[in-house]
Amino acid sequence: MKTPLILTAAAVAFALSACSSKPDEAPAVEAAAAVSTVDEPVAASSATTIAAGIAASPTFKSLADSLQAAGLAETLSGTGPFTLFAPTDAGFAQVAPVTRDGWMRPAQKDVLAGVLKYHVVPGKLTAADIAAKIAEGGGKAVLKTIDGPELTATKSGDAILLTSTSGNKAMVTGADVDRSNGIVHVVDAVLIPNM
């Protein structure tokens, strides 16, 4: 996928760069860039919770709907702090429709919750914090999610690449969106844990 996302940044208060399906071509993620290109009316609302910010964004409709269906919007409205790796609608579109539709069925609420919790790490980790952990770990950092399973963070050029326990990958395409109860990093795919 080679879709420029930077125009979306102004509308949704996330600084996005062009993303690519090839990790070698991924853009650098800079915290300063994320702060400097944020749309002022939305950025001025750092009192907004993670859940409220996601719900207000047209780029995260699938994520907002999924958080509601899984009963996690309330969690991400809580005090935290949380680090959310937020897949865009384009990231959700990469999941097979039959799988996405299945997740939204009430009988699959726990499965959906497990997938979404896999995108949440306790604490507030900036892109610089994650990069420092990667450097300290000799090229990789293991991030424990709120539900227990781990994500592996590595660098691809200057960008942060996340790898799930099932082996799929997501690139951080926008970083350091500050919220009252944590921080959000935009990712270009839904991370799937081993189930």
Between CA 72 and CA 134 the distance in angstroms is: 28
Whole-prediction pTM: 0.78
Write down all domains in the chain, each with its CATH number in brackets. Answer: 6-187 (2.30.180.10)
What's residue 164's pLDDT? 96
- Closest by alpha carbon to 172, among 83, 42, 64? 83
Between CA 83 and CA 108 the distance in angstroms is: 24
Contacts of 105 (CB under 8 A, 6+ apart): none
What's residue 5's pLDDT? 30
For residues 87 and 187, the answer to whether their CB atoms sit within 8 Å is yes
For residues 162 and 172, the answer to whether their CB atoms sit within 8 Å is yes
Between CA 185 and CA 86 the distance in angstroms is: 6
What's residue 32's pLDDT? 30
Coil vs helix vs strand at 20: coil
What's residue 194's pLDDT? 86
Low-confidence ranges of the chain (pLDDT < 50): 1-44
Structure confidence by residue, pLDDT tens digits, 147-177: 889 999 999 999 999 999 999 999 999 999 9
What's residue 24's pLDDT? 36
Between CA 57 and CA 63 the distance in angstroms is: 10
Residue type, 48: T
Q: Quick count: other Cβ atoms within 10 Å of Cβ 110?
A: 10
What's residue 45's pLDDT? 54
Between CA 16 and CA 30 the distance in angstroms is: 10
What's residue 129's pLDDT? 97
What's residue 127's pLDDT? 97
The pair of structure tokens assigned to 170 is 């997501």
